[in-house]
Structure 1
Amino acid sequence: MSQIVHNLKLKLDEELHDYVRDNYPWADSFHILRRSVDARRRHDPHLIYSVELFNKGESIKDSLPNQKKIKYSGAPILIVGAGPAGLFAALNLAEQGIPCHLFDRGGTTQERIKEIAKYWRQGELNPESNVCFGEGGAGLFSDGKLITRIKSPHIPYVLDRLVQFGAPEEIRYFANPHVGSDRIRRLLPVMRKYLEELGCQIHLNCKVTEFEITDRKIKGLYTADGQFFAGDHLLLATGHSAEDIFS
């Protein structure tokens, strides 16, 4: 069984590997859960670690929950909005073998970059694909002020997937992890390809205009080009800017 140890205090020039070897000789390997800087004493700053220690033959994979496939025979799940909530909902479903459709009125990451550059330089606004709408959501063009303060047990899942798609390894354990807008723009197309390989059908530049509801139950949705997609389950991950979706 692994053991989690908190508040390991190391000097800035001290190696964590050496510290673990000297103080926990039984540990064959370790995984950093969190790293922060304690600079309250200006002349004596330290790094504070939380780590998971593993016996010989163990690894981090042994401590992670298995993402089991679920037997599902219903219609694909309908997800509206390809921001963080929609993307990770689709990812979680697809990794469990559940079919889903992911819709967003805006374009791909690269298309959005071009549209927004045109707006900033020439004042031409695309009302469907802009800072608010499109792959990655509004956070794709954040200046870094967007953070999460929740203590959700799902945060490691999100960070692990981001690293899988190209985010830096250290976001897994930094106290205030930050991917960076430049890396996010490279990461999202990789994530999209992975979702599609798992069977998720992604519809960008595809605005949802109407829902089919019978006896207060969702039966499907219509898109701006007149297509109908049947489904018994709907997830709205549209953010605060898509006010017309609720009208």
Structure 2
Amino acid sequence: MPKEVVSEAARRRRKPSKAGVVLSERLYIETALRMLHEHGRDGLTVRRLGAALGADPSSLYRYFRNTDDLLLAVGDELVGRALRGWRATGDWRHDLRDLGLRIHSAYLAHPQAAILTASRVSGRANEIAADEAVIGVLRTAGLPDAEAVRVYHAFIDQALAFAALDAAALALPHTARAADEAVWQATYARLPAGTHPHIAATAPRLIARMKNSAYPTALDMLLDSAAATLARTGGVRGAGGVRGTGGVPGPGGDTV
């Protein structure tokens, strides 16, 4: 049975480790992010974490049940970084677009961590705050609850799916990534119109676009669909309130 994780106050260590650092949950998360960035998934082990922090490897279990629990905390940290500075403005489309791009960027800043965490559900504070913010924006815009949940589901899964896809490309060795990008010029640009008329006609545009993430375009398409749903259901655009609620809380819990 996994060892029960004690409270932050009870487990806080006051004596520095051999490396001169005071261990904490946040220090483990930041160190795990650094080790994933430098060494990839195989580099994140209890032994290596202990060595990096100058602590006994078993010290990890004062803060996390296991390395999987640490990974969930790492994913929640990425969501928290996306939320920093975000506040609802009352313009539902602007707010969702901004939040989606923030989530995508936060994950791509740590591609190795993104690959391991984008598909996970942690139930931690930052993840819950992001979900509350997205659903709040949609309900405040005037979407009925069933539609708000439907759009929320598509919105959050789209952001995380593109984060995982784009992170996987960034995590490739440079030579492999460059080789993949070269295929568009070396192969697609040379396909003859006689056998591949549609690719031949659009090849210059394909080459120009395929080197970039499609996430902003896909996000705008999703928001267009949400706007059509709002128009169909009579939702209020912009800052109008939703029935029975008072506004959209920011990540810190204050009503905006």
Given the two structures, how large is their TM-score scaled by the length of structure 2?
Answer: 0.21
Q: Which has the higher helix share?
A: 2
Q: Which has the higher strand share?
A: 1
Given the two structures, how large is their TM-score scaled by the length of structure 1?
Answer: 0.22
